[in-house]
Amino acid sequence: MRRIDRRRRERLRRRVANIGVSFALGALVATLLTDRLQRQVTSRSREPLSIAPTGENDSSSGAPRAPAIEAAAPSMAETIGALGSRDLLIPVEGVTAKQLTDTFNDSRAVGRRHDAIDIMAPRGTEVHAVEDGTIAKLFTSKAGGLTIYQFDPTQTFSYYYAHLDHYASGLAEHQPVKRGQLLGYVGSTGNASESAPHLHFAIARLGTDRAWWKGDPINPYPLLAK
Ligand SMILES: [Zn+2]
């Protein structure tokens, strides 16, 4: 009788040990999988191209921009005020303030605001830097076509020039530029109509991360049309 008991106990102990090992392995696999998944998610969210700007129809940014400037407290108004004192240049050669139209609040896609102005001009018209700064990014997107992101000297704002026909020769990222410097030429790349070449121009207040594809939209019209 005792012998049988001992055997039983021995079997039971082994079974328990086996279960313990299986459980530990399972937990290890689960931890590794979770860790890997988390890393994938993190790296994906760091990928700028997946939320990169697309230009025209989506108001120059695939990422949702802040819905309204008005919502962003008085500091934003002060920031815009500071920008107003900088005397921004109308970026398209030969276009006067009177010829500009305010299309900032137009809708360009379902539920999307334009968040930019369109400056109509013949293909090949020169596009100039609105002020001093740096070329932050030369980017080609489906909607915006050939585009330029320029940061201002304080890296507070980005200036976005889209639908370009081509860049000025030698234009490169990180290059410092001067107000009035030739950046490129008006075109209809991206989703602009072939028969209506224009410059899609947008201004954004950059976030603290200085990410070129993000920012709070600012209406360029009152800044250029004064
Ligand atoms: Zn536009």
Q: Which helix (H) or strand (E) holds 9?
A: helix 2-46
Percentage of residues in the chain having pLDDT higher than 70: 67
Q: Is 67 in contact with 59 (CB distance < 8 Å)?
A: no
148 CB-near residues (< 8 Å, 6+ apart) = 135, 137, 138, 139, 159, 160, 161, 164, 167, 171, 183, 184
Between the CA of 47 and the centroid of ligand 1 the distance, in Å, is: 25
The amino acid at 53: P
Ligand 1 centroid, distance to 173 Cα (angstroms): 23
Per-residue confidence (pLDDT) for residue 61, from 0 to 100: 47
Distance 77 CA to ligand 1 centre (A): 24
> Would you say 204 and 162 are in contact if contact means Cβ atoms under 8 Å apart?
no
Q: Which long-range CB contacts under 8 A does 12-18 form with residues at least 24 apart?
A: none
Q: Looking at the domain 76-224, which fold is it?
A: Glucose Permease (Domain IIA) (2.70.70)
Of 51-55, 106-110, 191-195, least confident by mean pLDDT is 51-55
Higher pLDDT, 60 or 82: 82
8 CA → ligand 1 middle, Å? 81
d(CA 58, ligand 1 centre) in Å: 9
CA of 194 to the centre of ligand 1 (A): 14
Task: Give tens-digit pLDDT for 33-44.
Answer: 445 544 444 333
**How many Å apart are CA 149 and CA 110, to the nearest integer?**
25
When the pLDDT of each residue in the chain is averaged and rounded to a whole number, the result is 81
Tell me what pLDDT residue 54 has.
Answer: 46
Centre of ligand 1 from the C-alpha of residue 68, in Å: 18
Comparison of pLDDT for 84 and 32, the residue scoring more: 84
Dihedral, CA of residue 112, residue 224, residue 71 and residue 216, to nearest 10? 60
Reported as a pLDDT band with limits 50, 70 and 90, residue 68 is low
Distance CA 134, CA 153 (A): 7
pLDDT digits (tens, 9 = 90+) for 144-158: 999 999 999 999 999
- Residues 63-84: what's their mean pLDDT? 67
pTM (predicted TM-score): 0.68
226 has a pLDDT exceeding 60: yes
Question: Does the pLDDT value for residue 134 go beyond 80?
Answer: yes
Q: How far apart, in Å, are the Cα atoms of 47 and each of 44, 62, 101?
A: 5, 13, 35
**Tokens encoding 92:** 């398209």
189 CA → ligand 1 middle, Å: 12
Q: What is the mean pLDDT of residues 174-197?
A: 97
Average pLDDT over residues 214-225: 95
* Separation of CA 56 and ligand 1 centre (Å): 5
